[in-house]
Amino acid sequence: MIPDRRHLAAYGLPALPLAALGIPVHVHLPTFYAEQMGLGLAATGLALLAARLFDAFADPLLGYLSDHHRQRRKLWLAASLPLLAVSGWHLFLPADGAGPLYLAWWSGLFHLGLTLALIAYQSWGTELSADYHQRSRIAGWREAFALVGVVAAIALPALLAWEQGDTLSGLFPPFMLLLALSVAAALLVVPEMPRVVRADSTTWAPLLANRPFHRLLAAQSVNAMANALPATLFLLYVGDRLGRPDMAGLLLVLYLSAAVISVAPWLALARRWGKHRAWAASLTFTALAFLPALALGSGDWPVFAVLCLLTGFGLGADLALPASMLADVTDEHQAAGGKAQAGLYVALWSLAAKLALALSVGVAFPLLDMAGFVPGSGQAPLALPLLYAGLPVALKLGAAAMIRRFPLDHARQLELRRRIALMSETSP
């Protein structure tokens, strides 16, 4: 199948509310429960940690279940909606007296619903086309919609001058409604591709032998760490290093807007060079563009705004191309005699990203504390720019080196699809 723009738009639209619903959970919800709900930092942190650990361990199971049900993608995506609606209502609009157990329970269920939706949704996307370049278009449309959702979730509270509680109660109902409507449209408009199942297929042997996936996952894990560190430390860097906490929202919108614009040029370059070469180029470009952040200080926010635009331009490739390459490595799995396992691959991909985010917090915050950094003091030790920019630059260059000689190019993918088609014809 070669998706037309109607299919691409219908498939990509649910990414907007899914991304928008994730932003307040990460940005606003911890502070709201710690301060306005009176839970305190320690209790809030432990409750959210418990919820995220539960979510992380659920990834492989949900991926496995998504792969083992007829009409699996559409069904699981639809099943996530009531879970997200009920848990999100309790989480975003909490009852008076909500405590740590309340937060852990409803946060855990909300993240479970979000993971269920994303695994089914992204796995569905990997199966919409077997064409090397069309897979990039599918991922590009999805990630562009997701970026628009992130920008909307960040910009709306700033434009409407909402407080933390207003942001949670104001964002959830409209974006949940949009999610339900957009999922319904996608289910009606976009087909679900038939499964290719071999009687002698196994689950783990082709995955363990899938060296392109191993390399891709390793490079993406390193790159996820490189992205997670600046995301975790962004507010501290802008507030304490640059001395302009009031500019954080605008700078973030610049960064994400540049990413939206950059998706199409990176897809064009991937068609000319190949996905892995275009992604390696974007990683190198982003690393070099980010390097000056090491030397910036108080009053340098205009220079940093330029860096946000440049690094944001690299983000478009970061989101679209690895996701498209993930679809290609599932062909390696099928050609080795395995059945379609896109859900499991997406789940392992998601798990690696979550572990990278957790590791970034676990490494950065203790190191900053050891360096004597006090948030909000306006005094930023050298450790802050080193962790915010120096280490991510090194990690991105490392990821670029790992992926530059990626073995699964267009020619290899065509050969894999021929082998899969031949096995399908000869299977009983």
Per-residue pLDDT at 105: 92
What's the chain look like in SS3? Answer: CCCCHHHHHHHHCCHHHHHHHHHHHHHCHHHHHHHHCCCCHHHHHHHHHHHHHHHHHHHHHHHHHHHCCCCHHHHHHHHHHHHHHHHHHHHHCCCCCCCHHHHHHHHHHHHHHHHHHHHHHHHHHHCCCCCHHHHHHHHHHHHHHHHHHHHHHHHHHHHHCCCHHHHHHHHHHHHHHHHHHHHHHHHHHCCCCCCCCCCCCCCHHHHHCCHHHHHHHHHHHHHHHHHHHHHHHHHHHHHHHCCCHHHHHHHHHHHHHHHHHHHHHHHHHHHHHCHHHHHHHHHHHHHHHHHHHHCCCCCCHHHHHHHHHHHHHHHHHHHHHHHHHHHHHHHHHHHCCCCCCHHHHHHHHHHHHHHHHHHHHHHHHHHHHHCCCCCCCCCCCCHHHHHHHHHHHHHHHHHHHHHCCCCCCHHHHHHHHHHHHHHHHHCC
Q: Specify the pTM.
A: 0.80
Per-residue pLDDT at 48: 80
Model confidence pLDDT, tens digit, residues 122-155: 888 888 888 888 888 998 999 899 989 988 988 8
Joined tokens for residue 113: 């619903």
CB 91 within 8 A of CB 196: no
Model confidence pLDDT, tens digit, residues 314-354: 998 998 899 889 988 888 888 887 676 778 888 888 888 87
Of 286, 227, 283, the C-alpha closest to 399 is: 283
pLDDT tens per residue across all 428 residues of the chain? 556 788 899 999 999 999 999 888 877 787 788 778 888 767 877 888 788 777 777 877 777 777 775 457 888 899 999 999 999 999 999 988 888 899 989 998 998 999 889 888 988 888 888 888 888 899 899 989 998 998 898 888 878 878 767 888 889 999 999 999 999 999 999 887 655 444 344 456 777 788 999 999 999 999 988 988 888 788 788 888 888 888 888 898 899 889 989 999 999 999 999 999 999 999 999 999 999 999 998 889 999 999 999 999 999 899 889 988 998 888 888 888 767 677 888 888 888 887 777 777 667 777 877 887 777 776 777 888 898 999 999 999 999 999 998 998 888 888 888 888 887 666 55
Task: Identify the structural domains of the chain with CATH numbers, from first to last.
Answer: 7-191 (1.20.1250.20), 204-423 (1.20.1250.20)
Measured on CA atoms in the order 65, 70, 72, 76, is the torsion positive or negative?
A: negative
43 half-sphere exposure, CB direction, 13 A CA radius: 14
Of 152, 83, 90, the C-alpha closest to 120 is: 83
Per-residue pLDDT at 222: 93
d(C-alpha 247, C-alpha 185), whole Å: 37
Q: Maximum Cα–Cα distance for the chain, whole Å?
A: 70
Per-residue pLDDT at 110: 93
d(C-alpha 366, C-alpha 369), whole Å: 5
